[in-house]
Structure 1
Amino acid sequence: MSADSPESITLVAPDGAQATLSLHGGHLLSWQPVGGVEQLYLSPRSEFAPGKAIRGGVPVCFPQFAERGSLPRHGFARTALWELVSQEQGQDDALAVLRLRDSDATRAIWPHAFELELSVRVSGRSLDIELACEHRGQPDDAPLQFTAALHTYLRVGDLDAVSVEGLAGLRYFDAVKQAEALQRMDLLLTGEKGVLDLDRIYFGVKERPLLVSEERRQLTLQQQGFDDTVVWNPGPDRCAKLADMPPQDWSQMLCVEAACIGRPIELQPGESWVGRQSLTLL
């Protein structure tokens, strides 16, 4: 499979804004707002193959974030085949809804009846990504508990000239140092090559807006339903060890991910949860 395979879906809003999704992983591959260039990083070495995760775009991490549990890293949703529920063009937007349900394969490693829906809406200079989960079990079934993230890879011109505003005052877990710390000011990557390898979970972000800035571009990110935000970049050393990413491309991307990690979501049978990440190019 490739990015332009029959398993890919292209959304085009009436104003020309575009997005491309893959049924493999329920994966957003591309977003081009009106008057703007590509906003997401997608590795040219991504493997579009069954059972393989795509490097870049917006992977769906579910029902486990990273190695925080007994499931495969980041869970199974990002390597599963989703189905297209609907695709439509409205008066001023374009929308697609994808779905993933439990199967023999998922129940073998995660014994829950569930339904995930991923909704992607594109219009003008904005993109909305919504992830919803429903516990579809019987009334006497056990609750299901999960962590999740929209693992958004932003394309940047040069990571060395990027800042992230809106995180000041928050505690974070540094996965590189395996320690918690306090973010005392905005995250400035300018001139700080030593900051990389960057892998942080910021807790309690909730609905506060974030601003990712570089020399000629500003992008706002806001989330609902997701309490936490992950900021990640592999840095040059770790990137060189990734088979599905060119070694120099660490400087062309920054992940800013809407996530629920610190407090896992728990659903009783019949209950639902919804999380959203909204991006706007200023």
Structure 2
Amino acid sequence: MAASGSERVAVEKCKGINGLDKVVLREPRGSTAEVYLYGAHVTSWKNDHGEELLFVSSKAIFKPPKAIRGGIPICFPQFGSHGSLEQHGFARNRFWSIDTDPPPFPTNSKSFIDLILKPSEEDMQKWPYSYEFRLRVALGTGGDLMLTSRIRNTNADGKPFTFTFAYHTYFSVSDISEVRVEGLETLDYLDNLQNKERSTEQGDALTFESEVDKIYLGTPTKIAILDHEKKRTFVLRKDGLPDAGKHDILDNLVKLEGSSKEQGSFFPLVVWNPWDKKAKTMADFGDDEYKHMLCVEAAVVEKPITLKPGEEWKGRLELSAVPSSYCSGQLDPQKVIQNS
């Protein structure tokens, strides 16, 4: 797991909060990421200046069975609350194993970790399906953070299963009222605060002045989150691709998303901030911490994925943090997106 010779240790397994196992990834230029085996949970992503890019609540509980509040929780086999499963599924509060036999991943990074989750007997009682969930977390040469999920149906009895999913990413921002999201304008969204009423986004950017919980449909591959005060822009790249092997589920994905083959693999996006009133109802979240976080989540929400035995779904998220440029007092997101 460690780089040899005179190189810095690119991957280090050590103990984290409350003695939980974690893996620290280091990129030669100085970027780092931390991944807890509990939940396969990315809890830190720092740039080469040592600045934290993800939000984790000061009241986060690093103790099973509570999921960690912040970072990048993995939501599987459901996003939200349905039926007998706990909210956002069980993947985020299970202990994952280091994957000793991962599938081939094309990568130039020496700083990555492969994790795997298989169902326990307890999980099978609530969700009676056999699966393998493989996750690779990697740091790119420029400090980009990349997460690749592979979910395979391994049922021996021929049963398909259906799931929803999300990378529930909490970004660290200076002041939520000074943040804008570019790339969602003119898109349709479902408003979870209005019984999933469907609306169309107005204006040239998404800004924040109250609680928001929206599911944007048919989003492009790149989204930019602009933080005016820090002069920083997060760029999200996302795609959900089928396995190129025996079972081709691309047509299924296209049908689910209701778009062309080029667009059919893209995730919807969930945008969430609890604001002041809801923040005060959350025991593991500080009353004023909503001001310094924003969740923008690549997700499969409204139209689930169905896999037959042997089929595999792959979903990838890549995060970049780049300096923002100013133009007439306003950040120029298009320049950021085009150059990233």
Q: TM-score, normalised by structure 1?
A: 0.92
Q: Which residue of 1 aligns with 2:87?
A: 73
Q: Superposed, which structure 2 residues align to 1:93-132 within 5 Å?
A: 93-123=110-140, 124-132=142-150
2:300 to 260, 263, 272: 260
Larger deviation: 59-68 or 147-156? 59-68
CA contact (8 A) 1:203 1:262 kept: no
Cα distance, 1:227 vs. partner? 2.0
Shift of 1:70: 3.7
Considering only aligned residues, what root-mean-square deviation do their CA atoms show, in Å? 1.8
Q: How does 1:122-271 map to 2 (within 5 A)?
A: 122-123=139-140, 124-138=142-156, 140-178=157-195, 179-189=197-207, 192-193=208-209, 196-205=210-219, 207-215=220-228, 216-225=231-240, 226-271=266-311
**What amino acid maps onto 2:223 in structure 1?**
L
1:92–1:23 distance in 2 versus 1, CA, 3 Å? closer
Matches of 1:16 and 1:241 in 2, distance apart?
Answer: 38
SS at match of 1:176: helix
Distance 2:188 2:287 in 1: 31
CA distance in 1 between counterparts of 2:73 and 2:172 reads: 15
Query: How many angstroms does 1:92 deviate by?
Result: 4.9
Offset at residue 255 of structure 1 (A): 0.2
Partner of 1:39: 53
**Structure 1 residues 216-260: Cα deviation after superposition (integer angstroms, max 9, x where no partner):** 111110110152100000010000111001100000000000101
- How many residue pairs align between the two structures? 274
What is the CA–CA distance in structure 1 between the aligned matches of 2:205 and 2:84, rounded to whole Å? 32
Report the Cα offset of residue 29 of structure 1. Answer: 0.3
- Distance in 1 (alpha carbons) for counterparts of 2:16 and 2:277: 28
What is the aligned-residue identity percentage?
36
After the TM superposition, which of the residue ranges 108-117 and 176-185 deviates more from structure 2?
Answer: 176-185
**Distance of aligned partners of 1:280 and 1:100 in 2 relative to their CA distance in 1, 3 Å threshold:** same
Rounded Cα–Cα distance in structure 1 between residues aligned with 2:204 and 2:50: 26
Measured after TM superposition, the shift of residue 151 of structure 1 is 0.0
Instruction: Give the letter for the 2:96 counterpart.
Output: W
**Counterpart residue identity of residue 214, structure 2:** R
Q: Name stretches of at least 5 consecutive residues in structure 1 with no aligned partner.
A: none
CA distance, structure 2, for counterparts of residue 84 and residue 45 of structure 1: 28
Q: Which of 32, 54, 70 does residue 68 from structure 2 map onto?
A: 54
State the shift of 1:93 in Å. Answer: 4.1
Q: 1:9 aligns with which of 20, 23, 31?
A: 23
Change (3 A) 1:113 1:227: same
How far apart, CA to CA, are the structure 2 residues paired with 1:188 and 1:136?
41
For structure 2, list consecutive stretches of 5 or more residues without a partner in the other structure.
1-14, 241-265, 323-340
Q: Secondary structure at the match of 2:186?
A: coil
Matched to 2:185, the amino acid is: A
The residue identity in structure 2 corresponding to 1:266 is T
How much does 1:35 deviate? 3.4
Deviations 1:65-99 (A, max 9, x none): 11144411100101111111259xx9754101111
Q: Hey, what's the Cα distance between the residues in 1 that align with 2:109 and 2:98? A: 21
